[in-house]
Amino acid sequence: MKKIAVFTSGGDSPGMNACIRAVVRTAIANNLEVCGIMQGYKGMIEGGENFVEMNSRSVGNIIQRGGTILKSSRSKEFMTPEGRKKAYDNLIANKVDGIVCIGGNGTFTGAEIFYNEYGIPSIGAPGTIDNDLYGTDFTIGFDTAINTAVEAIDKIRDTADSHGRVFLVELMGRHAGFISLAATIAGGAELVLLPEVKEDHSKVVNFFKGRSNSKKSFSIVIVAEGNVEGGAFKIDEMLKAEIPNFESRVVILGHIQRGGSPTAYDRVLASRLGAGAVEALLKGEENKMAGLMNNKFCLTPFYDSIHSKKELNPDLVRLVDVFNC
């Protein structure tokens, strides 16, 4: 192996730049050439100026930056055989022997299909705030997203307390409630509605009906956007229809959770996974995702990472009810 490529794909997450930096500098330390592919799979298909030769200075002063210097995109064309053939031709034209792909479920799905068709070795680094990939305890960007959410919740609490209101705060997570669950505990919220846990309708209504008896002056409820009963606005409408004089406000944090400077933990995690991905390629590994399990580096086949369900920590789910007294 003489040359590798690195790219980011799908939704951006804080720490992607730290991972790019680790990939480039680890490659150089092992006498490999390295190129960055701009705009993910889209750039791989289009070729040309999207293939950028990188050196140590290319990744200077980026470890603290959110987003991705290589940019990102979602490519429908890559999901066609014709699109993947164009991508393969461009990789061969640029003499790429191996790939490090940084992204989430969709990125690794594309990487697995591409490997099965063309056999170019690839190792993935899990870059997604959702923390929903099987084979790693934490994904790059998850810790930063939690901290962003908790900072917002702390500020919302001041207003909720001042006015004695209920605030429904919607956090990102279409299919996974990892951010919402962690932010609920860290932010001291009283209730969380998750995609993985179907709450009884009457339980949610009775929770708010019982507020007056508990003498709580305000409440903060976290709603994951993929909650089975609907998002924060839907829950708000339901409660107002069933509880007279129910006064509440809805806050949707949205994409603010995907931006910002990565936390120290995300920078270290991204650095370990980026370096480990390059070293795995050099050892002959392929078609796998790099991760940390019990703080130890590990590799999980893309298929397992994509198709195996990562479960919420039941202890954390239990603690939400324990603390709500």
**What would you report as the CA-atom Rg of the chain, rounded to the nearest whole angstrom?**
22
- Which stretches of 172-252 are assigned E, i.e. beta strand? 191-193, 219-224, 248-252
Q: Rounded distance, CA 290 to CA 192, Å?
A: 31
Measured CA angle at 186 (ends 180, 188), to 5 deg = 95
Report the half-sphere exposure of 160 (CA within 13 A, side-chain side): 23
Output the pLDDT for position 70. Answer: 97
Q: Rounded distance, CA 218 to CA 240, Å?
A: 16
Q: List the structure tokens of 278.
A: 């390059």
Output the pLDDT for position 205. Answer: 83
Which one of the listed residues 12, 89, 130, 266 is annotated catalytic?
130
Q: Name residues of the chain where pLDDT drops below 70.
A: 200, 211-215, 325
Find the helix packing angle between 142-163 and 178-187, rounded to 10°. 50
Output the pLDDT for position 131. Answer: 97
Kindly report, residue by residue over 66-92, the tens digit of the pLDDT.
Answer: 999 999 988 999 999 999 999 999 999
Output the pLDDT for position 203. Answer: 76
137 in catalytic set: no
Contacts of 199 (CB under 8 A, 6+ apart): 193, 229
Share of the chain above pLDDT 90, in %: 79
Catalogue all structural domains in the chain, each as residue range(s) with its CATH number.
3-141+262-307 (3.40.50.450), 143-258 (3.40.50.460)
Q: Rounded distance, CA 240 to CA 246, Å?
A: 5
